[in-house]
Structure 1
Amino acid sequence: MDAVIILSAHGDAVGDPGAIGWAWIDHTDGHFDSGGAASGTENSAGLTAVLRAIEAHPGSEPLLVESGSQQAIRVAAEWLPSWKANGWRTSAGDVVPDADLVRALDDAVTARTGPVRFRHVRGHIDNPLHARARRLAELSAAEWSAGRGRLDSFLIGDMPPADDGGTARPAGAAPAANPAPAAADRRDSPASWESATLF
């Protein structure tokens, strides 16, 4: 079996609604990416972070996406399948919040040939990579709030130092197109969010 790719994803908003920032970082090699938008919510920021992390990692390797946003994790792992079966409506019959992002998230997970799991982590856990993702998302949100758009540099010097002395690196070129959708749904069940066995 391929090695598990573990990603920390974080979204941040300046106001709710307000400018948003998102970021993900790969625990294996420190690669990361970040961005934002002029308007959004805390929930859309968290969903965007998870979505961008998955989109940047097509392929067959097992993928574990961690986020401090319980809302984003519950959408991805628990609510999305029933919303989809219900015509993108909630159990109350309302239109799914952030429906475009939720549909894109479904497409990204389905397009991967490898499995995707999601895990909620507490927002202030003692994990330098999670802290880096949070800091990048905050910086991106601040840049968009100030009207400057995407960061011109990734401001490595402003990020928390890695315990192992490593340096995070921005992700390279845009990811290749996703492979054809797999036949089976690759999500985990809510019961496995905190499981020690990843795959």
Structure 2
Amino acid sequence: MIIVSTDGSCLRNPGGAIGWAWVAHEGGRFDSGGAASGTNQVAELTAVLRAVEAHPGAEPLLIEADSQYAIRCASEWIEGWRRKGWRTASGSPVKNLELVQAIDRAITDREGPVRFRWVRGHVGNPFNERADELAGLAARDWAEGRGEIGSVLIADLPADADVVPARTRTGEPVAASAGAEPRRAGARETAPQWELGTLFD
């Protein structure tokens, strides 16, 4: 089973810069990105969508998130909304419909099953904390005008971040089994400056 933690960040909800991230529990792979404006719900849903898209195949995928909204959208409410023509029980339009439908397609198109597990945030879960940190870094990059050239520089990660990016600056995937040593903070002079993808690539 593949286990991935996701998280989203919004610096000023609603309307502030957002960031999203997923972190795989094995292999050290992660990805993150953001946008100049959004909501915390958009950030959380985008993190789930990108996690599903990044892990195709038949192996079961378990997504851990601290957002009950994102989990319930993707696993509980979505079937009823689909049956009702993408309307809620009260008849109002589903919020964040484009993202919800994209998640629905990604899960439906994936060969293996996708399951979700809620975890409490900010209680020391290392993968949840890492996803939270990456999402926050991405949101700050977008708020400071750096989002168009990439969301997170690997050298900006903390010294104990034993992870490698899912994609390089050119968008080429980085194989988890490539055998490369993880890039760490302070490696700006000796390691390539890999940038992670954005919401719009």
TM-score for the superposition, normalised by structure 2: 0.79
Alignment-mate amino acid for residue 154 of structure 1: I
| Counterparts of 2:158 and 2:67, CA distance in 1 | 23
| Counterparts of 1:46 and 1:53, CA distance in 2 | 11
Pair 1:96–1:174, CA change in 2 (3 A): farther
Task: Name the counterpart of 1:123.
Answer: 121
Counterpart of 1:65 (choices 60, 63, 66) is: 63
Task: Name the counterpart of 1:10.
Answer: 7
Contact in 1 for aligned 2:137/2:152 (Cα 8 Å): no
- Per-residue displacement from partner, 1:47-70 (whole Å, max 9, x unpaired)? 000110000001101000011111
Task: Name the counterpart of 1:154.
Answer: 154
**Counterpart of 1:138 in 2: which secondary structure?**
helix
| Counterparts of 1:83 and 1:157, CA distance in 2 | 39
| Counterparts of 1:64 and 1:6, CA distance in 2 | 5
Task: Name the counterpart of 1:145.
Answer: 143
Counterpart of 2:164 (choices 162, 166, 169) is: 169
| Counterparts of 1:148 and 1:97, CA distance in 2 | 28
Which runs of no fewer than 5 residues in structure 2 stay unpaired? 174-201
Task: Name the counterpart of 2:86.
Answer: 88
Pair 1:143–1:52, CA change in 2 (3 A): same
Contact in 2 for aligned 1:156/1:168 (Cα 8 Å): no
Pair 1:75–1:10, CA change in 2 (3 A): same
Pair 1:31–1:134, CA change in 2 (3 A): same
Pair 1:156–1:168, CA change in 2 (3 A): farther
Task: Name the counterpart of 2:186.
Answer: none
| Counterparts of 1:148 and 1:105, CA distance in 2 | 27
* 2:36 corresponds to 1:41: no
Pair 1:174–1:44, CA change in 2 (3 A): farther
| Counterparts of 2:119 and 2:2, CA distance in 1 | 16
Q: How many residue pairs were aligned?
A: 167
In the TM superposition, residue 156 of structure 1 has moved relative to its aligned partner by 5.0
Alignment-mate amino acid for residue 136 of structure 2: E
**Counterpart of 1:15 in 2: which secondary structure?**
coil
| Counterparts of 1:103 and 1:30, CA distance in 2 | 29
Contact in 2 for aligned 1:9/1:53 (Cα 8 Å): yes
Alignment of 1:21-32 (within 5 A): 21-32=19-30
**Counterpart of 1:104 in 2: which secondary structure?**
helix
Task: Name the counterpart of 1:189.
Answer: none
Q: Which runs of 4+ in 1 moved over 4 A?
A: none
Contact in 1 for aligned 2:33/2:152 (Cα 8 Å): no
| Counterparts of 1:138 and 1:28, CA distance in 2 | 22
Alignment-mate amino acid for residue 170 of structure 1: P
| Counterparts of 2:131 and 2:124, CA distance in 1 | 13
Which runs of no fewer than 5 residues in structure 1 stay unpaired? 176-199
**Counterpart of 1:39 in 2: which secondary structure?**
coil
